Amino acid sequence: MVPARRLLAGRWGSPLAAQLAVVAVLLVIWQITAGLGQLGAVPTPVEVGRALLAIFASGAVWEPLGTTLAGWAISLLLAVVVGIVVGFPLGTSRLAYRLSVFTLDFLRTIPALVLVPLVVLLYGSGLESTILLAFLGAVWAVIMQTIYGARDVDPTALQTFMSFRVRRWDTVRFLLVPTALPYIATGVRLAAAICLLVTISAQVVIPAGGLGEQILTAQLGGAVPTMYAYIFLCGALGVGANAAFGKLEAKALAWHPSHRKVAA
């Protein structure tokens, strides 16, 4: 991990600069091929950029953006809270884990979007529906990661706590939770991505407002550059969310080997 990054940094200045260079090259190729009419209905990046500016300038972007962000944030919060609350008992009790593992494996392989018809029947095409779908798509990631985390308590650490007669609640606080935290952080990062994907997809499919419905509306109205502008915005949201959670994780888990500033 580190050596690869160093290698890249040594040859290309910094990894960020190298990545931006790749993006720039791709944009140029896109501009040339689309400009020559080789990509059919795909507009040039310049046209997409103009459409992007336009939706911001007219203010049309804010309401759908808000709907998408709200659906995403609420579903993520629910998935994290429920996932942790359900995952911990399953991870700390061998029996509960054995009894539930089959059900969990079955439920988590159901793609959230196949539940669209059912959820729409029950809750209509509002925000609740996208929240429920995103929650159902993402909660498993948090549950599974919490289970893995709770099961990973080091036997020597546990014996240390036992020999010092550390109280039950302190054992939860200072052993179980810190052990599970890196796993939960991964679960949250996965859930954040899943929630965003399912929220936007559900908004397109149902349609249920937000950026998703704007993509559909733009396509139906023949406003192809605007459609791409919204698609681009969805991508940017995903990248931003991932970076934000990565930063948060590095801060909360500064002690963890993958975030340490000092080698052991």
Using an 8 Å Cβ cutoff, are 207 and 216 in contact? yes
Asked if 175 is part of the footprint of other proteins (rule: CB under 8 A), the reply reads yes
165 binding other proteins? (CB under 8 A): yes
**Closer CB to other proteins, 56 or 174, in the complex:** 174
* DSSP codes, the chain: -HHHHHHHHHHHS-HHHHHHHHHHHHHHHHHHHHHTTTTTTPPPHHHHHHHHHHHHHHTTTHHHHHHHHHHHHHHHHHHHHHHHHHHHHHHH-HHHHHHHHHHHHHHHTS-GGGGHHHHHHHHTTSHHHHHHHHHHHHHHHHHHHHHHHHHT--HHHHHHHHHTT--HHHHIIIIIHHHHHHHHHHHHHHHHHHHHHHHHHHHHHTT-SHHHHHHHHHHHTT-HHHHHHHHHHHHHHHHHHHHHHHHHHHHHTTTSTTT-SS--
Residue 220 touching other proteins (CB under 8 A): no
Residue 157 as a binder of other proteins (CB under 8 A): the answer is: yes
Query: Binding segment for other proteins among 40-48, 70-78, 119-127, 254-262 (CB under 8 A)?
Result: 254-262
Shortest CB 64 distance to other proteins, Å: 41
Closest separation between CB of residue 83 and other proteins, Å?
Answer: 21
Asked if 62 is part of the footprint of other proteins (rule: CB under 8 A), the reply reads: no
Interacting residues with other proteins between 127 and 156 (CB under 8 A): 154, 156
Please identify, using beta-carbon distances, which residue of 12 and 164 lies nearer to other proteins.
164
Number of residues that bind other proteins (CB under 8 A): 22
| Choices 163-171, 183-191, 200-208, 221-229 (CB under 8 A): range interacting with other proteins | 163-171
163 binds other proteins, rule: CB under 8 A:
yes
Residue 168 interacts with other proteins (CB under 8 A): yes or no:
no
Please report whether residue 12 would count as binding other proteins according to CB under 8 A: no
Q: Given the rule CB under 8 A, which of 14-22, 102-110, 143-151, 249-257 is the region that contacts other proteins?
A: 249-257
CB of 4 to other proteins, least distance (A): 23
Rule CB under 8 A: is residue 256 a binding residue for other proteins? yes
CA distance readout (Å), 159 to 95, 156, 163, 175: 21, 5, 6, 11
Q: Determine phi and psi for 120, rounding to 5 degrees.
A: -65, -40
Binding site for other proteins (CB under 8 A): 154, 156-157, 159-160, 162-167, 170, 174-175, 178, 181, 255-257, 260, 262, 264
